[in-house]
Amino acid sequence: MILKGIPMAIDYVQEFYNYLRFELNLSINTVKSYIFDVNLFMTFIGKEGVDVTEVDKNVIRNFMSERLEHTTYRGNLESERSLSRRVCALRKYFKFLYTKEYLKSNPFIGISSPKKRVKNPDVLYASQIQKLLELNRERTDKLASRDQALLELMYCSGLRCSEVVSLNITQIDFPHRTILVKGKGNKERVVPFSESAKACLLDYGRNLRKELEKQAGKRSQYFFLNSKGDKLTTRGLEYIMHSIINKTGLSLGFNLHPHALRHSFATSLLENGADLRIIQELLGHSSINTTQIYTHVSKENLKNQYEEFFPKKDSKNTEKSDNNGI
């Protein structure tokens, strides 16, 4: 129902628009964002057969639940951050309606913004890493050696995407197998790398990299170059990771991205007994709390490995054990 003498719901939105734009003097883009979120909610309650005056906390929670299960045009679930913004807009809208006495009560009082879901990072098992390196090694295209060097280095060092693309030749100490990394906030740290990574880096550096420089007609201070001989960008690195999966045909269950190799590096160290403080130092985390997420990933990895490789009982044995009354 609509309260007696109250304009229709569509007029509420128009009046709210005028209030935001001309009384609060908000920017046109901010106002459009508010109105978009309000209209999204109005569409939802319309489908539910609920009038704006009948909205209660259950309706609001149903809306929030549906939005968290909504898939965006990019194929991702709507984030808690996006939903929090929508809730903020609706909270302001319903406060406006209540203040104007269009509603007898404000249903958004006591409604909290959604808590952020803690998503474990994408991680490759040791067997998946091994398979990925083997398959990529079989490639015969021009850029294969560069991509192999990238995979080897990123997995065995845990460098950030930005740290890889900005890597300068002078930062690499081949005799000692270390890299002087300039991380966030220009903080420096020394990170070692493996013998296999060293071999791949030298192969790329002595051969393909020189070809790319010659092709570009210039020398570059940056170690990793794109197909035109220019500095590799973070977007370019992300594209390379996607193309590696396409070229090798390996299925991981998620899109390979640079950070997945960093996550895999940290998880592998933890599972093999490395101290969390050492991992923090290698990753360049300012807080140990950031590093601790890998303790959850490690436990999940161990469980998945157990489920995949532990011998399963046959159906007869399962039936017997089910009847033991335990």
Task: Residue 17: give the domain boundaries.
Answer: 9-99
3-state helix, strand, coil in the chain (%, to 5): 60, 5, 35
- The answer to whether the beta carbons of residues 291 and 285 sit under 8 Å apart is yes
How many structural domains are present in the chain? 2
Average pLDDT, the chain: 85
Positions marked active-site: 160, 184, 259, 262, 285, 294
Residues 65 and 198 in one domain: no
Residues 81 and 140 in one domain: no
- Residue 289: CATH number of its domain: 1.10.443.10
Residue 256 lies in a domain: yes
Residue 119 lies in a domain: no
Residues 58 and 192 in one domain: no
Residues 159 and 303 in one domain: yes
pLDDT value for 76: 66
Nearest to 238 by CA among 253, 251, 257: 257
DSSP codes, 192-229: E--HHHHHHHHHHHHTHHHHHHHHHTS--SBSSB-TTS
Residues 172 and 39 in one domain: no
Residue 114 lies in a domain: no
- CA R_g for the chain: 27
Q: What gap in Å lies between CA 288 and CA 295, rounded to an integer?
A: 11
- Residue 88: CATH number of its domain: 1.10.150.130
Type and span of the H or E element at 153: helix 144-157
Residues 94 and 135 in one domain: no
Residue 324 lies in a domain: no
Q: What gap in Å lies between CA 288 and CA 153, rounded to an integer?
A: 24
Residues 204 and 94 in one domain: no
Cα torsion through 200, 201, 203, 209, rounded to 10: 140
Q: Is the sign of the CA dihedral 191, 197, 203, 209 positive or negative?
A: negative
Banded model confidence at residue 312, pLDDT cuts 50, 70, 90 = low
Number of neighbours of residue 76 by Cβ within 10 angstroms? 9
Q: Worst-scoring range by mean pLDDT, 33-47, 113-127, 263-277?
A: 113-127
Residues 198 and 286 in one domain: yes
Using DSSP, state whether 181 is helix, strand or coil: strand
Number of neighbours of residue 220 by Cβ within 10 angstroms? 17
Q: What gap in Å lies between CA 180 and CA 189, rounded to an integer?
A: 6
Q: What gap in Å lies between CA 102 and CA 115, rounded to an integer?
A: 30
Residues 82 and 135 in one domain: no
Residue 49 lies in a domain: yes
pLDDT value for 3: 36
Averaged pLDDT, 41-64? 89
Residues 154 and 303 in one domain: yes
Q: Is 70 exceeded by the pLDDT of residue 286?
A: yes
Q: Worst-scoring range by mean pLDDT, 107-111, 176-180, 199-203, 311-315?
A: 311-315
Residue 108 lies in a domain: no
pLDDT value for 6: 37
Averaged pLDDT, 237-258? 89
pLDDT value for 74: 59
Averaged pLDDT, 80-93? 92
Nearest to 93 by CA among 43, 54, 42: 42
Residue 4 lies in a domain: no
Q: Worst-scoring range by mean pLDDT, 20-24, 62-66, 189-193?
A: 62-66
Residues 136 and 279 in one domain: yes
Residues 164 and 66 in one domain: no
Residue 117 lies in a domain: no
pLDDT value for 125: 85
Q: Is 60 exceeded by the pLDDT of residue 149?
A: yes
pLDDT value for 308: 64
